[in-house]
């Protein structure tokens, strides 16, 4: 049972999550100092990622805190803690970081391709910089892993966790209408889709299942061809356990 909304929940805060929040807070603070601002800029997703070969930005941008100094940034960190804690304990350390990196890279790939094809916008990637991508990843994970849990939206409206996948896309679309950041919006959608597919097994099992189906189709076509050429009859294998289940030629 998830402990969303509380600060204890019977579980100690994961050290990995606390370190992550600390990194985001430090990089967020560094952007306001002249000496360290260029270093933070090098971590963020930008036009230089592909055009100048700054490829590391495709995986470092969520860890560079973004935004103006306000209470909203602290609220975003709180949201990261709430969702991230339950996701971490459900997935474990290895899978937690794997999902973070896969979702980060999937969103960056789509956003960079959109920016490359459509041309840079006035505020390209602004919707997915820093902790905003981490929030999208954690909420998507929570929606998949705790689909039947009830979360109080705005602390008032009870909503099933599974619906948060669509809610965050709706919020991203509304933000796109204000920023016109097409690359950022589609990047967020790609992050949601990548994480959802990975947790549901679509990315890890898909290629193997496709290969098995292709092998089955090839075997069926071969048997049909043999039947036409040699007059053989294909008899299905014994499904009652008496045989090995393979096809027989008569």
String of DSSP letters for 153-191: ETTTEEEEGGGHHHHHHHHHHHHHHHH--HHHHHHHHHH
Across 42-191, where does the E strand assignment appear?
150-153, 157-160
Q: Looking at the domain assignment, is residue 1 inside a domain? A: no
Name, in order, each residue with C-beta under 8 angstroms of 164's C-beta and a sequence gap of 6 or more. Answer: 139, 140, 142, 143, 151
Q: Check whether residue 228 and residue 164 sit in a common domain.
A: no
Domain count for the chain? 2
Strand 150-153 and strand 157-160: the pairing is antiparallel
Distance CA 78, CA 149 (A): 19
Q: Looking at the domain assignment, is residue 2 inside a domain? A: no
Q: Looking at the domain assignment, is residue 10 inside a domain? A: no
Neighbours of 98 (CB within 10 A): 13
Instruction: State which residues form the domain around 120.
Output: 15-200
Looking at residue 248, its pLDDT comes to: 44
Looking at residue 223, its pLDDT comes to: 78
Q: Check whether residue 33 and residue 100 sit in a common domain.
A: yes
Distance CA 166, CA 175 (A): 14
Stretch 156-173: mean pLDDT: 86
What is the total residue count of the chain?
250
Q: Looking at the domain assignment, is residue 195 inside a domain? A: yes
Q: Looking at the domain assignment, is residue 7 inside a domain? A: no
Distance CA 24, CA 20 (A): 6
Looking at residue 249, its pLDDT comes to: 45
Nearest to 135 by CA among 16, 20, 14, 2: 20
Q: Residue 186 pLDDT > 50, yes or no?
A: yes
Q: Check whether residue 172 and residue 229 sit in a common domain.
A: no
Percentage of the residues of the chain whose pLDDT score is greater than 70:
78
Most confident of 60-64, 175-179, 240-244: 60-64
Q: Check whether residue 241 and residue 153 sit in a common domain.
A: no
Stretch 168-178: mean pLDDT: 92
Stretch 142-168: mean pLDDT: 83
Q: Check whether residue 95 and residue 157 sit in a common domain.
A: yes
Q: Check whether residue 126 and residue 177 sit in a common domain.
A: yes
Q: Which residues pair with 152 in a beta bridge?
A: 158
Q: Check whether residue 71 and residue 130 sit in a common domain.
A: yes
Q: Residue 244 pLDDT > 50, yes or no?
A: no
Q: Looking at the domain assignment, is residue 164 inside a domain? A: yes
Distance CA 247, CA 250 (A): 10
Q: What is the CATH number of the domain that holds 159?
A: 1.20.1540.10
Q: Looking at the domain assignment, is residue 153 inside a domain? A: yes
Q: Check whether residue 188 and residue 231 sit in a common domain.
A: no
Stretch 68-95: mean pLDDT: 92
Q: Looking at the domain assignment, is residue 118 inside a domain? A: yes
Q: Check whether residue 166 and residue 231 sit in a common domain.
A: no
Looking at residue 235, its pLDDT comes to: 54
Q: Check whether residue 195 and residue 210 sit in a common domain.
A: no
Residue corresponding to tokens 């980060």? 104
């Amino acid at each position: 049972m998830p402990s969303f909304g509380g600060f204890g929940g019977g579980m100690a805060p994961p050290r990995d999550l606390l370190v992550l929040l600390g990194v985001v807070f430090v990089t967020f603070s560094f952007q306001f100092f002249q000496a360290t601002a260029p270093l933070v800029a090098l971590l963020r997703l930008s036009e230089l990622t592909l055009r100048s070969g700054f490829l590391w930005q495709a995986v470092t941008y969520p860890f560079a805190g973004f935004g103006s100094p306000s209470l909203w940034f602290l609220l975003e960190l709180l949201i990261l803690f709430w969702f991230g804690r339950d996701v971490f304990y459900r997935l474990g350390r290895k899978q937690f970081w794997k999902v973070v990196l896969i979702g980060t890279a999937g969103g960056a790939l789509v956003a960079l391709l959109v920016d490359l094809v459509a041309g840079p916008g006035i505020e390209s990637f602004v919707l997915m910089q820093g902790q905003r991508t981490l929030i999208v990843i954690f909420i998507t994970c929570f929606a998949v892993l705790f689909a039947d849990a009830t979360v109080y939206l705005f602390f008032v409206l009870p909503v099933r966790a599974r619906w948060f996948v669509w809610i965050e896309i709706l919020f991203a679309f509304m933000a796109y209408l204000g920023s016109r950041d097409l690359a950022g919006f589609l990047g967020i959608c790609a992050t949601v889709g990548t994480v959802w597919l990975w947790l549901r097994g679509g990315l890890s099992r898909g290629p193997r299942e496709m290969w098995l189906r292709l092998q089955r189709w090839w075997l069926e076509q071969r048997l049909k061809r043999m039947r036409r050429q040699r007059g053989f009859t294909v008899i299905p294998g014994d499904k009652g356990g008496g045989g090995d289940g393979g096809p027989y030629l008569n």
